[in-house]
Amino acid sequence: MEDLTRNFDVLLDKAKRLFEFSEVKFRQDRNTLKWGLSLCATPMNAGKAVILGISWGGASFADKTSYSIQRRFPTKEEFLEDYKAGG
């Protein structure tokens, strides 16, 4: 698991650096919003698939205008809880 955590951290660091120069970041700043980023919606397991995507947890503008940066990949239990809740 440690190796997967390290891989996640490396990818997250790269994503954060790329985000700083993105059109999304430009629009966020222009509209005084706070948007974050996420790498994966599923747990990471060696040799298994990971679901990657854009805005799987994002709400409409009226619902929420602030999103944090994903800090770690979810555990199996956290993923199943979100899945069952429709998130």
Closest by CA position to 29, among listed 37, 40, 21, 17: 21
Domain ranges of the chain: 2-85
DSSP string, the chain: -HHHHHHHHHHHHHHHHHHTTSHHHHHHHHTT-B----S-SS---TTS-----S-SS---TTT-SB-PPP-SPPPHHHHHHHHHHT-
Run means of pLDDT, 10 residues per run, the chain, 87 residues: 79 88 88 81 80 55 64 85 78
Q: Whole-model pTM?
A: 0.64
Residue 58 is predicted with a pLDDT of 52
